Structure 1
């Protein structure tokens, strides 16, 4: 008989920071926002960055 097991590990600080960085650009988007709202937010952010 074969035993299947999964090892769960706690994310390192570097991994947790990297995950935060990947989601940071969506921090202003409301929870439950749909694709359209997300695209609008990203477009506005991009437009604002090019004007600086």
Structure 2
């Protein structure tokens, strides 16, 4: 089992620049959304992206 205190210490020891680039990579898929949108808007946005990706995948498979 992981010690939460040690885990927090390790993660807080990371430089801010590393944390920032990691955060940016984690939320790039939300860059099209405006600040302040709610859960429903985020859910719709993600669903649309998945549907588009699925459609592209199906088109490639048919070629």
Q: TM-score, normalised by structure 2?
A: 0.58
Which aligned segments of 4 or more residues in structure 1 are displaced greater than 3 angstroms?
Answer: 7-10
Residue segments in structure 2 that go unaligned for 5+ positions in a row:
1-11, 57-63
* Structure number having the greater helix percentage: 2
Task: Number of aligned residue pairs: give it.
Answer: 45
RMSD: 2.2
Greater relative contact order (CA < 8 Å, ≥ 6 in sequence): 1
Q: What do residues 1-52 of structure 1 show as CA deviations (whole Å, max 9, x unaligned)? A: xxxxxx8763244x43221110101000111100000000000000001111
Please point out which of 25, 38, 41 is paired with 2:29.
Answer: 25
